[in-house]
Amino acid sequence: MPPVLEVRNITKRFPGVLANDQVSFTLEPGEIHAFLGENGAGKSTLMNILYGLYQPDEGEIIINGEQVALHSPLDAISRGLGMVHQHFMLIPTVTVAENVMLGKEITRGPLLDRATASKRIRDLSEQYGLAIPPDALVEDLPVGVQQRVEIVKALYRGADILILDEPTAVLTPQEAEDLFKVIFSLRDQGKAIIFISHKLKEVRRIADRITVLRRGRVVGSADPQTATEAQLATMMVGREVVLKVEKGQAHPGQVVLSVQYLTVIDDRGTLAVDQLSLEVFAGEVLGIAGVQGNGQSELVEAITGLRSAISGSVRLLGKEVTNTASRVLYEAGMGHIPEDRHRHGMVTSYSIADNMVLSTYYNDPFAKGWVLNSAAINTNAATLVEKFDVRTPSIETPAGKLSGGNQQKVVVAREFSRPLKLLIAAQPTRGIDVGSIEFIHKGIVRQRDEGTGVLLVSAELDEILALADRIAVMFKGKIIAMLPAVQATREGLGLLMAGVTNQQSVTPAPDDLDFAIAASPDAGANAPEPPQAPV
Amino acid sequence: MSRAPATTPSRAAIDWRNVFFSVLVPILAIFTALLIGAGIIWATGANVAAAYTGLFSGAFGGVQAISNTLVEATPFMFAGLAVAVGFKCGLFNIGAEGQLAMGAISAAVAGFAITGLPTFIHLPLALVIGALGGAFWGAIPGFLRARTGAHEVIVTIMMNYIAIRLTDYLIKGPLRDRNASAPRTPNILESAQLPLLLGPEYRLHAGFLIAVIMAFFINWLLNRTTTGFEIGTVGANPGAARYAGISITRNFVLAMSMSGALAGLAGAVTVLGVERNLKASFSAGYGFDSIAVALLAKSNPIGIIPAAIFWGALRNGAGLMQLQSGISINLINIIQALVIVFVAAPDIIRLIYRIPKTGDQQAVFTRGWGS
């Protein structure tokens, strides 16, 4: 069968950047073709060209044997291309059916024919195993279902080629499994699928063929059956990547952070953190595992001075700091990698140099009295860019122009540039590439080894398992289990994250857990058994 | 992309290519507005050449004309800076008009009521009191926004009415000069007058110089001081400001006070430099037009200088234009409105003149596409 899509020698230049360099590939009907690449490797540019948002400088696109020029997404849609963006393009306040038919409405005279539209949507849902309720409001649907609405929207417009841009980034593992089933069903019925990702595991699991991009170029393709994760990572990054974080035994010291019976409410006024207690010791990583939305964000905000706690106490190095201004906490030795780098971590319109001093700009040598000292600010930035391997054209570049991984390195570099006693790292590697993850993980371990107490909050179980010395599982605002990392298993933690504690005898109250038991492997033998894997 | 080069460019280094592109659109906007204005003049049957010659020579033809243009430009400069400072902090100060009125009345009172001081004390004192009057009026909406979340646009609009009616009452009531036929305050003392720069036959006063110096000072303050860093951070990303330990409340109040002080100075220099007293019909819409000036200058303090002079030139040249071609002064309002439309919607200008978007602007397009 001829390829449904063929791309030949596509080149796209942006000022100062060669985003795509002679990229060629083919896509067969009934194929799942995965594109792997770090952030900034050119995946998104390539897909934006296919979807008609950018015009290539060179090269040709051939769809069903016919050379085409795609000037807008409308062109692309009329050629049978459909795209599901990472950030959904749905109107939350109207129904699924209305969203799906928007721009291509079924009408009866001047009126919308909702009944026919709903029926067509039901037919599509049934055909591909995409259960969606046509008459529900989009805002009431969970993220995984909203994503299916996007897929149905593309199919409704007659898409034969579906581009899925990082589709699992917003999904829970269970939702991702459901998505994979849908993708398989689409493939089996002849649709061609382009699957963009930087997650090695899922690409190996679902792709028929893998193409790896690096710095705008196709560096090779791989067979998911035979390629190992290590090989794929090496292709992606261009050098060997250590997927496992090397770290030695923790040598915990004094208590640096002590949280006692902390209660915090969220923006909607509901209880987010419920009488929570924990302690972080110098020279250890305490990992907080949990499905997102179980109060982790509010916990971090309360500890770092961004949100007021309604009761309970926080002590930093023995000093009472409940509801203290962030600046006071920073000056006492706290570092904070916030979970959302765009909302809190940086000012995207500011230069890298300015972002590197975002919380320290008023200190000598960055300011002499009232006046900023550009020379010192620039020297600081040049040093940190070098040390943290931030890939940027210059330190004057606005931070928003960098790829996600490099932006995160700017945040991490800034926080690590101060002497720290306590590091709060919330989702420190969310949405960034393998190379940057490796770099940031090493940095966190180095901080630990230098005696910093680290509180790591992550929705990625792999990250918790790789870095933490002790693991606390947070569920509905409480810590429902605390265990030494050596005793933790993926399956056990997964059950705990779902709130299942009754099968095991894991100590439920963290505040009376003796740290010595949790930290030392000898004593650990007496500690509660880790939860068992489900059968 | 490569590593950062070892050499670190200076923070103050000027990227001329950027300057060119940021100036290009406003200039083409003005050009296009004048072109459409020409079409309107032609449609009314008047002589386009005569109208524009009149406009130009009225604005720049001779020392007298230039002097008057710069006098007109001076309050726009101060009030334009006021709006720009607010923008920098993410605040839309619609209240320059009211703050200007409060500055004018404060400076007028300081000018006639405080007696027995030498010029070098009385004049600066009157200016400072004018600035404080505006600052006080600006601080109120800043405080309300920071503390209660009351939107500064609504509050400043309402405060405009209060300020304008309040000054009106004061001028017609307690502060009225009983010896004057028209309602106005007593004249300010000579010791509070801004000196004339070009001698008695020209109106150009020292307030113009103060405005230019102020533009450079505000530019320095916003870009090179910790205060400017804080205001800019709050304006660009309040979440990041909070994270960085920068007080949003403090900076809202500070920026609105600074903004009000600058608007107050616009009123003060007009009283101390031109009018010498405050009349009931004082308000000439400077406060509202200054929003347009700030927009034209893209809130760049240095850019405010030419933008304000352009605005002053249109106002000042309009009279001679009407005289020479019989075109209504209202045409100037149309041209001003067109300039603002084109500056506010630069894509129209880019489309007309086929100016490619710079790489920066294109790159923004990919945001949210998982790049």
* Number of Cβ pairs < 8 A linking chain A and chain B: 142
Q: Which has more confidence, A294 or B144?
A: B144
Token representation of residue B194: 């801004």
Convert the pLDDT of each residue in A163-201 to its tens digit.
998 888 767 667 788 899 999 999 999 999 999 987 788
Interchain proximity B240–A17, CB inside 8 Å: no
State the amino acid at position A222 in one-letter form.
A
Convert the pLDDT of each residue in A111-165 to its tens digit.
888 888 888 888 888 888 888 888 888 888 877 888 899 999 999 988 999 999 8
Token representation of residue A49: 């060209």
Token representation of residue A421: 């006693």
Question: How far off is chain A from B231, nearest CA to CA, in Å?
Answer: 12
The confidence score (pLDDT) of residue A503 equals 52
The confidence score (pLDDT) of residue A432 equals 79
Question: Which of A459, A457, A452 is closest to A468 using CA atoms?
Answer: A457
Confidence of residue B135 (pLDDT cuts 50, 70, 90): very high
Q: Which candidate from A47, A306, A372 shows the least CB-CB separation from B242? A: A306
CB atoms under 10 Å from CB of A142, counted, come to 10
Interchain proximity A382–B8, CB inside 8 Å: yes
Q: Which candidate from B245, B364, B366 shows the least CB-CB separation from A44? A: B366
Distance CA A347, CA A134 (A): 40
pTM of the model: 0.77
Distance CA A271, CA A266 (A): 6
Half-sphere exposure of B59 (CA within 13 A, CB side): 20
B-interface mutation test, from A51, A321, A374, most B Cβ less than 10 A away: A374
Highest CATH level, class, for A5-237: alpha beta
Checking if the pLDDT of B6 tops 50, the result is: no
Confidence of residue B316 (pLDDT cuts 50, 70, 90): very high
DSSP state of A141: S
Distance CA A25, CA A281 (A): 52
Asked whether the bond before A365 is cis by omega within 30 degrees of 0, the reply is: yes
Token representation of residue A426: 């919330």
Are A281 and A515 in contact by the 8 Å Cβ rule? The answer is: yes
Convert the pLDDT of each residue in B248-290 to its tens digit.
999 999 999 999 999 999 999 999 999 889 988 776 688 888 9
Distance of alpha carbon B130 from its chain centroid, rounded?
Answer: 16
CATH number of the domain located at residue range(s) A249-333+419-518 in this protein: 3.40.50.300
Task: Tell me what the pLDDT averaged over chain B comes to.
Answer: 87
Q: Which candidate from A86, A352, A394 shows the least CB-CB separation from B370? A: A86
DSSP one-letter string for A164-227:
EESTTTTS-HHHHHHHHHHHHHHHHTT-EEEEEE--HHHHHHH-SEEEEEETTEEEEEE-TTT-
Question: Which of A156, A147, A142 is closest to A98 using CA atoms?
Answer: A156
Distance CA B24, CA B46 (A): 30
SS3 labels along chain B: CCCCCCCCCCCCCCCHHHHHHHHHHHHHHHHHHHHHHHHHHHHCCCCHHHHHHHHHHHHHCCHHHHHHHHHHHHHHHHHHHHHHHHHHCCCCCCCHHHHHHHHHHHHHHHHHHCCCCCHHHHHHHHHHHHHHHHHHHHHHHHHHHHHHCCCHHHHHHHHHHHHHHHHHHHHHCCCCCCCCCCCECCCCCHHHCCCECCCCCCCCEHHHHHHHHHHHHHHHHHHHEHHHHHHHHHHHCHHHHHHCCCCHHHHHHHHHHHHHHHHHHHHHHHHHHHHCCCECCCCCCHHHHHHHHHHHCCCCHHHHHHHHHHHHHHHHHHHHHHHHHCCCCHHHHHHHHHHHHHHHCHHHHHHHHCCCCCHHHHHHHCCCCCC
Q: Say what the ipTM of the complex is.
A: 0.84
> For a pLDDT cut of 90, what percent of chain B falls above it?
64
In a 10 Å sphere around its CB, with 0-12 CB exposed, 13-18 middle and 19+ buried, how is residue A66 labelled? exposed
What angle is formed at CA B124 by the lines to CA B122 and CA B126, rounded to 5 degrees?
65
Q: Which has more confidence, B27 or B346?
A: B27
Query: H/E element holding A117?
Result: helix A114-128
Question: Which of B185, B208, B187, B205 is closest to B197 using CA atoms?
Answer: B205
- Within 8 A by CB and 6+ apart from A192, the residues are A4, A5, A27, A28, A29, A30, A31, A33, A160, A161, A162
Beta bridge partners of residue B196, listed in sequence order: B205
Distance CA A434, CA B338 (A): 51
Distance CA A282, CA B241 (A): 29
The confidence score (pLDDT) of residue B159 equals 95
Strand ranges, E, within A32-91 = 32-36, 58-63, 66-68, 81-84
Query: H/E element holding A367?
Result: strand A367-368
The confidence score (pLDDT) of residue B12 equals 47
Residue of B nearest to A327 (CA): B245
User: Is there a shared CATH topology between the A5-237 domain and the A249-333+419-518 domain?
Assistant: yes
Least confident of A159-163, A489-493, B4-8, B183-187: B4-8
Query: H/E element holding A234?
Result: helix A229-237
What angle is formed at CA A152 by the lines to CA A151 and CA A158, rounded to 5 degrees?
100
Distance CA A335, CA A360 (A): 12
- The domain locations on chain A are 5-237, 249-333+419-518
The confidence score (pLDDT) of residue B366 equals 29
Torsional sign, CA A16, A21, A27, A31:
negative
Helix axes B301-325, B63-88, angle to 10 degrees: 140
DSSP state of A345: I
Map tokens 């590439």 to a residue.
Answer: A433
User: Alpha helix locations (H) across A280-373?
Assistant: 296-303, 326-331, 352-355
Are B195 and B50 in contact by the 8 Å Cβ rule? The answer is: no
Low-confidence ranges of chain A (pLDDT < 50): 504-535
Least confident of B6-10, B114-118, B257-261: B6-10
Residue of B nearest to A39 (CA): B371
Q: Which candidate from B1, B228, B367 shows the least CB-CB separation from A393? A: B1
Question: How far off is chain B from A15, nearest CA to CA, in Å?
Answer: 5
Q: CA A320, A325, A327, A331: dihedral to nearest 10 degrees?
A: -10
Interchain proximity A326–B3, CB inside 8 Å: no
The confidence score (pLDDT) of residue A531 equals 42
Contacts of B226 in chain A (CB under 8 A): 361-362, 367, 370-372
Confidence of residue B371 (pLDDT cuts 50, 70, 90): very low
The confidence score (pLDDT) of residue A505 equals 43
The confidence score (pLDDT) of residue B369 equals 26
The confidence score (pLDDT) of residue A533 equals 42
Checking if the pLDDT of B90 tops 90, the result is: yes
Q: Which candidate from B12, B224, B369 shows the least CB-CB separation from A371? A: B224
Q: Phi/psi zone of residue A369: left (φ > 0), alpha (ψ -120 to 50 degrees), beta?
A: left
The confidence score (pLDDT) of residue B319 equals 87
- Phi/psi of residue A465, nearest 5 degrees: -65, -35
Question: How far off is chain A from B355, nearest CA to CA, in Å?
Answer: 15
